[in-house]
Every structure is written in structure tokens, then in C-alpha cells.
Chain A
Amino acid sequence: MQSHSVTLDKARCIGCTDCIKRCPTEAIRVRGSKATIIEERCIDCGNCIRICRNGAKQAVTDELSLMNQFKYKVVLPAPSLYGQFPKAPNITAILNALYEIGFTEVFEVATASEMITKYIGDYLESAKYFPMISSSCPVIIRLIQRRFPSLMQQVLPIISPMELAARFIKTQYKLRKIDESQVGVFFISPCPAKATELHRPKGIEKSSVDGVFAIQSLYKPILNILSHPSYKGAKRQSGAAGIAWAMQTGGIDEKRIKNHIAVDGLDNVIAILEKVEDGSLNHVTYIEALACTGGCLGGVLNIENAFMSRNTLKKWIDEEEKDTREVLSKYQIQLLQSIPYLFEKDLTPRLVFTLDQDVNRALEKMTEIELLYNRLPHIDCGSCGAPTCRCFAEDVVMQKSNIEECIFILREKIKELSDQMYQLTQTVIPTDSKK
């Protein structure tokens, strides 16, 4: 089982230092002129995929053919999918295309999102810690586990809309007495982190999703069908509010949650989480944090630019608001409401930055790091393969790098050596008559 969805294509990597600098958890080093990802640090944010100009960083998602293993092929499109097709006549046309591709049922994740929005509002009314932080973006959970472990109790213990939708579908089929092994539930994802979520779910024992397809891999098939559609049976299940989840502030019920912050883009999220840690945001009720700029529309597996797709999605939301949509049946709504949505287990910190289990030994190492860091040039050139001089100092003390891998230190040592050699040339040789 593969553990991460962001991987490296060694053949394409030229060993530049673009990606190492953009990684929010300092999880990449260049070794032997190839980038390597430190698995336990990676949070699957996809920043490196976004930045790599050689396409060497790739997201691993499932092949479409996976659905053929199941008799019932249920697909859960993320609302961001809709934003990729500005020329589609409406969302229903996109859902129709999914049926034509071969899925036997389409269930909009946005429907589950609407439920989750309600659950968030309910939870906040009796929360113990403030501000609470949204848990729907898996990258944010992974980030908090690694960089902000003190905030873990503030992560909303509520499953993602994807998971709720998948549980709902599985329950429905179970009630129809259909064997679970025949039902495949697939998520169409804007980001690699959702694919990782399958193999390493957070807060729950096991994900109900069987496979994750990249929006990219469905883009062309859907586009082709949209120009010659034939299937017409798809029914909409979600409304405008659910679709808005793909964008910033999407998961916030403005009427219920008064004092909130909606933050997107990892750098911004990190800055806000630092403030939470410093206690300067205690007056805020809720923080919706999304790793990608522009929310899920900014995910690396999308085709369309996030600001373009936002425009498209907005158009549909406006139409939706005046539209009469085909909603779920009363029975379906009751069933959806009966699905458990709280985390089944606590999140655990992933202390990937800890220098040593023993505090005193960690202190010794830290002192060594500070001393070494002061000898380095502080220009963060990246030639050593580490993102910053500080990070390099840590690597050296942790015996993962050699100090001579810093070109400035190397030059110093060469100079010392050449000075010594020059001194040796000055030695007077007793039998030498030339001098």
C-alpha cells in the first residue's frame, strides 16, 4: 500500500532547488542531484507539484479502470469538478457525462457538505476550545499534527464531506442487501491529499471510499461527452451552499458562525495558526483553513486556473439560487442525517521535527545546531540540497549531511588546506642550494 500521493519521477528531476524551498514542512532534500521526499514529513499539499517546471513531482491517484472491479460504480464528484467546465450548459450536464463514462450512480459531495456545514454550526455551540479549526482539508490536519501539535484539540472532530457522502452511499446499498464487495465508491478529487486520505485516514478507522480519481484524468472524457451528450437521466442533489464549499468561506454558515476567519493558501494558514498558538485569536470562534489558494478550486489536480473556475462556479451558484432543484427524498435525508459524522479516534501528533526523545540530548543537539548555523552564510542558497542554512545545520547535526556539502564551508576548508600547502612550499630544505 502506498502511503503518499505526492511522488517523484526521478528521470525528470534535474536536481534544481525550486521544490525544496516551497515545502512547508521542509520535507524535500536534493541528494545525488535528485529530489527526495522525507515521507514522514510530507503533508501531501502538492506545492512541489505546482512549482516543478519539469513535471517531476507527480500525484498518484487511481486508474479509471479500477471501477471495473465493481458491479455498482458510484462516483462522488467534488464541487470543484464543476468549475472546470465553463462551457457546460449546467451542472446536470456534467453529471450526465459521468453516467456516460460508465458510473452507475452519481452522488454529489456537495450534498454531504451541506450536512457538514450544519454539524459544524452545532458543534461550535458547545465547543470547549476556541477558535476551532476546520478539518475538511486533510493537508491542514497533517500540518497541525506536525507543526502545530498544541492545536490538535482545536481541530473540529468532524469527518469530511467526501467521507460522509461515501458512508451514506455504502449504507444505502447495505440497506438494499447488496454485498459491500460489489459496491465501489470513487471520489473525483482536486488534490492528491484526498488520495492519501484513503490509505491513511485521519480521525477514523477506515475510509469508505474505494478509489480516488484525479479531476485531470476525467477532464477530457467529460469534455468529449459534453460536446455530444446522449444520456439525460442525472438528478441534482445539492444546492448552492454545498457547491460553494469548493471556495473560501464555503463551509461557513454566516448566519450561525459570527466571528470567523476563512484563510487559504498554506503560507497564510501557517501565519494564522502561529497566531492561534500565541493566543492572539482567542476571540475568534472558527477558522476555516484551506491549504490551496482559492480553496479546493486551487488544488493541483484541477485543470482550470482557480480564479477562472471560481467565476464558473459562481455563475452556477447564482443560477442555483433561483433554480428549483431536484432534492433528496425525505427518506434519503433521514438516512443521511443518521450517518455518524464525528471522529472515532483522536488525532495523534507526528513529532517529525523532534531532535531526540531525551530532552537533554535534544538540547545538546540544538546547541550544536545553533553554533553550526552561526558559521553558515545564512543566504539559503540551497546548493547543499537543504532548503535553508538552518535546516542544513540540523541535517549535519542529525548526521544526515556532511558539513563540507556547504560550498562556503568547503571553500573555507580548501583555503585552509591551500594555506597549509603554501606554508609547506616555504620549508627550507637543508641540502637545497637554490635558495
Chain B
Amino acid sequence: MRLHYEVEGEDFLRAGEASAAVKRILKQLGISTEYIRKVAIAMYEAEMNMVIHGKGGEIDVTLTGEKIEITLKDRGLGIPDIDLAMQEGYSTASAQIRELGFGAGMGLPNIKRYSDTLKITSKCGEGTMVYIEVLLK
């Protein structure tokens, strides 16, 4: 099954709604809890990145009994050095965002840790595409 979500940039009140919806669906499908946890953490981090850095965008989810594929396309500035961004503790978040408790530089490393495949493609000025795959079996 396919799911589609629109995410607003900097909308902190609604941030996380897409991952919450997916989480609810996975529970209803009877997916075992360890996988739900992986998806919840990975997708939440990625969705928050879209809200904080990416000026919002779209999330497409493809779900089978075997795996979940989550593609997030944002409208942000893009990531100039993906390897650097993947390092733990590296963050470009503003002081204001850090005040909110985000921007610890653990977003991408956490997504990598909790997903089975992570692909990031980015062009400066054209936004970033994050592809996350989590096996559900």
C-alpha cells in the first residue's frame, strides 16, 4: 500500500504527524514491536529534519508485508557535504532550534542506525531526498 503526506516547513505544532500516522498503521498491521520502533525513530528523525532544515516537502511511503520504504523530498537548501552531515554531533541548526531541544547532530546518524538502507541525494539549492528502507521481517 502507498501513503502520501505533505509536511510544512517550520510547523512545529504538526511536526511528527506523518510518522505518528505510519506508526499507527504498522501497529494495526500487527508488525512486531522491534520493527515498529525502528521505523518510528528513523521516520520521525527524517520528518523533523524536513520541518527544521528542509522547508517542508513530501513523504511517500510504500508498504508491503516485507518492508517499508519511505521517501522524503524536502524543499531546503540541500546538503553540501553528506559525509560530514552523517557525522555524530555535526549540526547546522540555529541556536533558536537548539533551544527547542533539536539540533544535537544525531538526526542522520540515528536514521542510519535504525534503518536497513539509507540513501541521501542532495543538490545545493534543490533540496534533499532521503530514502529509508526498513525490513519488517
Q: Using CB atoms and an 8 Å cutoff, list the residues of chain A in contact with chain B.
A: 147, 149-150, 152, 274, 277-280, 349, 351, 353-357, 359-360, 362-363, 366-367, 370, 394
Contacts and interface: CB of A to CB of B under 8 A. Distances in A.
A357 B101 CA distance: 39
B19 interface: yes
30 contacts: A147-B27, A149-B27, A150-B33, A150-B34, A152-B33, A274-B16, A274-B23, A277-B23, A277-B36, A277-B40, A278-B19, A279-B37, A279-B41, A279-B114, A280-B44, A280-B101, A349-B33, A351-B27, A353-B27, A355-B29, A357-B30, A359-B65, A360-B65, A363-B29, A363-B64, A366-B25, A366-B28, A367-B1, A370-B1, A370-B3
Contacts of A349: 33
A356 B27 CA distance: 11
Contacts, number: 66
Contacts of A363: 1, 29, 63-65
Contacts of A360: 65
A277 B136 CA distance: 17
Interface of B: 1, 3, 16, 19-20, 23, 25, 27-31, 33-34, 36-37, 40-41, 44-45, 63-65, 101, 110, 114, 136
Contacts of B30: 351, 354-357, 359, 362
Contacts of A353: 27-28
Closest 7 CB pairs of A and B: A150-B33, A279-B41, A359-B65, A278-B44, A354-B30, A362-B29, A367-B1
A193 to B, nearest CB: 22
- Majority SS of interface residues in chain A? helix
- Majority SS of interface residues in chain B? helix
A278 B41 CA distance: 4
Nearest to A274: B20
B28 A355 contact: yes
A65 to B, nearest CB: 44
A343 B53 CA distance: 45
B27 A354 contact: yes
Given A150-B34, A279-B45, 15 more contacts: A147-B27, A150-B33, A277-B37, A277-B40, A279-B40, A279-B110, A349-B33, A351-B27, A353-B27, A353-B28, A355-B30, A356-B30, A357-B30, A359-B136, A363-B64
